[in-house]
Amino acid sequence: MKIRFLLSILFASLFAAAANACPDVNLYGDTYELHASDLYDPQSVSLVAGGDRQIGDCNLKFGSDRGTGYVTEEPDYSLKLSGMENYKLKISVVSECDAILLINTGAVNWYYDDDDNGNYDPMITLSRPSNGWMDIWVGTHNGVLCDAVLTLETFKR
């Protein structure tokens, strides 16, 4: 009986540690309210890419892509978007390393990219972005921290 009890405690501890190792949508990064027209001219910000949370084991749904890489627990940016109905939204990163991009949208959809911006840099284009909160993580493929520039830009559909 003691062994069964100890095993259940060990299993619960391991499960809690794995759950804590994932990005947390209940936390906020630097927060901004943006209208689609605010991003018609590209807006860029410098940041440090990377983190200590390995997303490969987080059971996040990215369609056919199984994302790997390291991000922080809290998003780098939490954006409250409005007026997105007639726009596409391009989110891209240029970095000094192999960066990744992780997004959770207002419609509670996860998106991940590793290299679509070329030179080991990520880019995600949302053809029908939703209004509401969007969390953005800029991480790295191997966990090493590096300087990066995140750019957001809207385009009329």
Integer Cα distance of 27 and 53 in angstroms: 14
Integer Cα distance of 64 and 95 in angstroms: 25
User: Residue 9: its pLDDT value, please?
Assistant: 38
Give the tens place of pLDDT for each residue, 122-156.
Answer: 999 999 999 999 999 999 999 999 999 999 999 99
* Residue 46 phi, psi dihedral angles, 5° rounding: -85, 145
User: Residue 8: its pLDDT value, please?
Assistant: 40
User: Residue 13: its pLDDT value, please?
Assistant: 38
Q: What average pLDDT does range 13-26 have in this prediction? A: 61
Give the tens place of pLDDT for each residue, 1-12.
Answer: 444 433 343 333
Domains parsed from the chain with CATH numbers:
23-156 (2.60.120.380)
Integer Cα distance of 110 and 138 in angstroms: 14
Give the tens place of pLDDT for each residue, 26-65.
Answer: 999 999 999 999 999 999 999 999 999 999 888 887 765 6
Give the tens place of pLDDT for each residue, 93-124.
Answer: 999 999 999 999 988 899 999 999 999 999 99
Mean pLDDT of the chain: 87
